[in-house]
Amino acid sequence: MKKVYLGLGGNVGDVKAVLKAALDALNAHPQISVKKLSNLYKTPPWGDKNQDWFLNACALIETSIEPLALLKIVKSLEVDFKRKKTRKWGPRTLDIDLLVYEDVALKTKTLTLPHPRISERAFVLVPLNDIAPNLLVNGETVSKHLETVDSDEIKLIGEGGNF
């Protein structure tokens, strides 16, 4: 089984319920086991700032599914939860990103591992730090990357995966 870190978020509809249902769906898959959940955070929009704030969390899963097949599963879940791509970095009911897949370094048209913008995004680093502060990403720990971003506006709204 491989350890995979996921970033989850959304800002349309009942995001808490969608995040919980998406995690339940992942955990129900015979080859996926959700092992750890971060706290839940309210975060300002990134990139396209003209939209509602997001709820964000991270999860550690274990799986035997290869990266590209896992990407298909999570993107299918996004569709199941009515995600509509209206614009780059725009509003969404659910977003699931593969952040780190064990020690895999990969760059394809559809997937780059580790995720190329982890170190720029406080909305990823804050929850990822909850579950993996010592995880190495691009030669630095998550906690070290977190020191380099502005996380002042990020608000804790649910502890210990209690969505």
Residues in the chain: 163
Q: Rounded mean pLDDT of 135-151?
A: 96
Q: Give me the catalytic one of 24, 52, 80, 95.
A: 95
The pLDDT, as a whole number, for residue 79 is 86
Domain boundaries, the chain: 2-158
Active site residue 92: yes
Q: Give me the catalytic one of 48, 97, 103, 152.
A: 97
Active site residue 117: no
Largest CA distance in the chain: 40
The pLDDT, as a whole number, for residue 83 is 64
The pLDDT, as a whole number, for residue 57 is 97
Cβ-based neighbour number of residue 14 at 10 Å: 12
**What token pair was written down for 24?**
């339940």
pTM, to two decimals: 0.94
Q: Rounded mean pLDDT of 16-38?
A: 96
> Does residue 84 surpass a pLDDT of 90?
no
Cβ-based neighbour number of residue 74 at 10 Å: 21
Cα–Cα distance, 20 to 75 (Å, whole number): 16
The pLDDT, as a whole number, for residue 163 is 67
CA proximity to 34, closest of 93, 92, 79, 74? 74
The pLDDT, as a whole number, for residue 75 is 94
- Backbone φ and ψ of 44, nearest 5°: -70, 155
Q: Rounded mean pLDDT of 40-55?
A: 88
The CATH superfamily of 2-158 is 7,8-Dihydro-6-hydroxymethylpterin-pyrophosphokinase HPPK (3.30.70.560)
pLDDT classification of 89: cutoffs 50, 70, 90: low
Q: Give the single-character DSSP code of 134.
A: T
The pLDDT, as a whole number, for residue 24 is 96
Chain segment 11-23, per-residue pLDDT in tens: 999 999 999 999 9
**What token pair was written down for 94?**
């659910």
Contact 71, 110 (CB under 8 A): yes
Active site residue 95: yes
E strand or H helix that includes residue 127: helix 122-131
Q: Give the single-character DSSP code of 120.
A: G
Q: Rounded mean pLDDT of 112-116?
A: 95
The pLDDT, as a whole number, for residue 90 is 67
> Does residue 61 surpass a pLDDT of 60?
yes
3-state DSSP assignment of residue 123: helix
The pLDDT, as a whole number, for residue 133 is 98
Active site residue 14: no
Cβ-based neighbour number of residue 35 at 10 Å: 14
The mean pLDDT value of the chain amounts to 92
Portion of the chain with pLDDT greater than 70, in percent: 93
Q: Give me the catalytic one of 52, 83, 117, 150.
A: 83
Q: Which residue has the higher pLDDT, 86 or 65?
A: 65
**What token pair was written down for 50?**
């003209």
